[in-house]
């Protein structure tokens, strides 16, 4: 299985299976290159595959597929499918969206698929990082799915995450001297401490250490204007302190072409940059663009 792309179909009550079927039918990939971790009942409910891709069946402990509903059974299925993908360790993993509340109903208290991947794939101190990609527009999140009031940074955390990011660019992307832009934590990057001291006490000291390690990174800069530089091609990656600070700009620019990429582990994982879209599940109107981009990101 090591040369195959492993694809999970996400929450059975969301749009995951639908966009997976649509994406594979459009991409027309060789059967030998893909393994689906899903359930034939779920796949057949949402569409029909044009090719006989290998399917590893995950039990779905209910007789009903309930588009738009949040259920423990769906959460259990989502969890077991991703766990199986970790066990297989293919060339890459592509995941359709899951619902965190369904995972929690099933007793799996993870804040997302990234955390599950880290639980089952990380070793020797590896850290799973969340990198969002749309062509040459890339954004790393220093923190992931947590309440804004709980966003906490440390100097050492910033150093480790940015150093790992540089390693990914060199080893996986072949960019030997990547240029990174660091968002300030506070409005106006703290305004010399008037609007907050995270820049002075955490971010700038981390930048100073990183530069000594040879990392090309800016000082913490005001985030409200920093992303304008994307259009100038100034940086290879932007580093955001928290979820919305990084995702609003890239999703505004790239929309459904934004890919969520998990880096830092032995296997790269990609996923569409959107969620389960329960409101349109089962209506056969879901846009498969995000799933296509997620697959292409690890296939090409």
Mean pLDDT of 57-69: 92
Which pLDDT score is estimated for 232?
Answer: 84
User: What are the pLDDT digits (tens) for 265-294?
Assistant: 999 999 999 999 999 999 999 999 999 999
Total-model pTM: 0.93
As a whole number of Å, the CA-based R_g of the chain is: 20
Strand order in the sheet with 259-263: 54-57, 34-38, 5-8, 92-95, 269-272, 259-263, 129-134, 137-141, 237-240, 179-182, 216-217
The domains found in the chain, sorted by start residue, are 1-128+265-300 (3.40.718.10), 129-263 (3.40.718.10)
Q: Of 165, 163, 171, 170, give the one whose Cα is nearest residue 213.
A: 163
End-to-end Cα separation, the chain, in angstroms: 18
pLDDT value at 1 more than 70: no
CB contact at 8 A, 72 and 106:
yes
Distance CA 300, CA 296 (A): 6
Distance CA 38, CA 254 (A): 29
- Sequence-distant (6+) residues with CB within 8 A of 267 are 89, 90, 91, 92, 93, 121
Which pLDDT score is estimated for 231?
Answer: 83
Which pLDDT score is estimated for 233?
Answer: 85
Mean pLDDT of 64-79: 96
Mean pLDDT of 236-251: 96
């Amino acid at each position: 299985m090591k040369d195959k792309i492993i694809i999970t179909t996400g929450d059975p009550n969301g749009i995951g299976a639908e966009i997976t079927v649509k994406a594979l039918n459009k991409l027309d990939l060789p059967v030998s290159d893909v393994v689906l971790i899903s359930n034939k009942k779920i796949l057949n409910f949402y569409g029909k595959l044009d090719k006989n891709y290998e399917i590893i069946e995950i039990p779905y402990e209910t007789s009903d597929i309930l588009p738009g509903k949040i259920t423990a059974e769906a959460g259990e299925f989502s969890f077991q499918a991703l766990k199986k993908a970790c066990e297989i360790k293919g060339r890459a993993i592509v995941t359709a969206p899951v619902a965190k509340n369904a995972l929690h109903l099933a007793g799996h208290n993870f804040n997302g698929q990234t955390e599950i991947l880290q639980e089952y794939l990380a070793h020797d101190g590896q850290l799973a990082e969340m990198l969002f990609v749309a062509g040459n527009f890339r954004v790393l999140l220093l923190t992931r799915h947590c309440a804004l009031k709980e966003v906490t940074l440390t100097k050492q955390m910033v150093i480790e995450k940015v150093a790992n990011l540089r390693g990914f660019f060199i080893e996986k992307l072949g960019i030997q001297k990547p240029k990174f832009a660091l968002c300030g934590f506070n409005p106006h990057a703290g305004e010399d401490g008037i609007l907050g001291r995270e820049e002075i006490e955490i971010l700038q000291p981390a930048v100073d250490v990183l530069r000594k390690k040879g990392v090309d990174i800016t000082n913490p800069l005001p985030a409200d204007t920093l992303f304008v530089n994307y259009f100038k091609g100034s940086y290879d990656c932007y580093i955001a302190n928290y979820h919305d600070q990084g995702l609003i700009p890239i999703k505004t620019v790239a929309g459904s072409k934004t890919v969520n990429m998990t880096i830092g582990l032995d296997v790269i994982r990609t996923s569409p940059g959107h969620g389960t879209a329960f409101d349109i599940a089962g209506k056969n109107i879901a846009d498969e663009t995000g799933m296509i981009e997620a697959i292409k990101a690890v296939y090409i």
